[in-house]
């Protein structure tokens, strides 16, 4: 903050002359600890035309409050503090509302469905192990036989049922994302957009079979369709936990009147 300057480019004490009158003495409360009166001492008279060196004055929060109290009155300061606290409370309430919407409409349902898919995948892997124990990388007893023909058909059928559940959950997550895209954090856009694209490709190229007859080299250029991309479930879980913790912290501070 720069003090007012006169025509010679120097800061002037005229602002204080207007407040206390020429020849008045500086009150102790104003002279001590006030950056505007760095050269003045308690009891010193203000001289007409007196100038101060043009220097930049840096004020902290406490100094600003002291200046406002002396120069503008305690009533103004009380009003300013109330406005500041009201604005901070309103900002905190807006953040609470936004986090609640994010959790209720987006990240909580995504977390549930993504976690279910993770469990479905584990079940499918176990079924694959049962279908052909020797093909799995996990150590198996030597006397564990491979499934018979009828058993294999049943295991494959059961595995396909879980794969269908996996795809249904992906379709639900796609609907959630499309309906609540405005609630997505900027850092999550690329990952979640890639997920939606995979869902669309799965529908168009696999379920509706529109890719049949397309040359292999074209399909290769389109790339792999992922049921779930690496890191997807972990990212959703991390965001779900982080937002719940932040919301809990804000609600606690709102109750206790603390600073967010």
Query: 189-221, pLDDT tens digit by residue?
Result: 999 999 999 999 999 999 999 988 888 888 889
* pLDDT 10s digits, 147-182: 567 788 899 999 999 999 999 999 999 999 999 999
3-class secondary-structure state, position 19: helix
Instruction: Give dist(CA 169, CA 125) in Å, integer.
Output: 18
For 2, 67, 79, the CA distances from 64, given in Å and listed in that order, are 14, 5, 15
In sign, the C-alpha dihedral spanning 121, 123, 129, 131 is negative
With a pLDDT cut of 90, the percent of the chain lying above it is 43
* pLDDT for the residue 239: 97
| Structure tokens belonging to residue 44 | 């010193």
pTM of the model: 0.62
- The three-point CA angle 110-246-98 to 5° equals 65
Best-predicted range by mean pLDDT (72-76, 79-83, 246-250) = 246-250
Domain ranges of the chain: 11-72, 83-256
């Amino acid at each position: 903050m720069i003090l007012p300057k006169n025509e010679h480019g120097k800061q002037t004490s005229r602002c204080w002359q207007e407040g206390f009158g020429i020849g008045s003495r500086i009150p102790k409360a104003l002279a001590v600890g006030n950056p505007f009166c760095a050269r003045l001492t308690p009891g010193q008279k203000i001289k007409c035309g007196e100038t101060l060196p043009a220097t930049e004055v840096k004020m902290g929060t406490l100094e600003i409050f002291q200046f406002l109290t002396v120069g503008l009155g305690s009533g103004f300061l009380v009003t300013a503090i109330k406005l500041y606290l009201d604005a901070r409370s309103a900002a905190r309430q807006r953040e609470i509302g936004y986090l609640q919407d994010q959790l209720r409409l987006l990240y909580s349902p995504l977390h549930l469905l993504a976690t279910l898919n993770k469990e479905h995948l584990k079940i499918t892997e176990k079924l694959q192990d049962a279908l052909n124990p020797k093909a799995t990388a996990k150590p198996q007893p030597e006397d564990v036989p491979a499934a018979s023909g009828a058993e294999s058909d049943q295991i494959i059928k059961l595995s396909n049922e879980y794969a269908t559940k996996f795809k249904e959950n992906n379709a639900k997550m796609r609907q959630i994302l499309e309906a609540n895209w405005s609630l997505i954090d900027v850092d999550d856009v690329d990952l979640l957009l890639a997920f939606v694209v995979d869902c669309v490709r799965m529908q168009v190229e696999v379920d509706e079979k529109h890719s049949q007859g397309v040359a292999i080299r074209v399909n290769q250029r389109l790339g792999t369709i992922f049921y779930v991309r690496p890191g997807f479930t972990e990212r959703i879980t991390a965001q779900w936990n982080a937002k719940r913790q932040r919301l809990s912290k804000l609600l606690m501070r709102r109750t206790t009147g603390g600073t967010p």
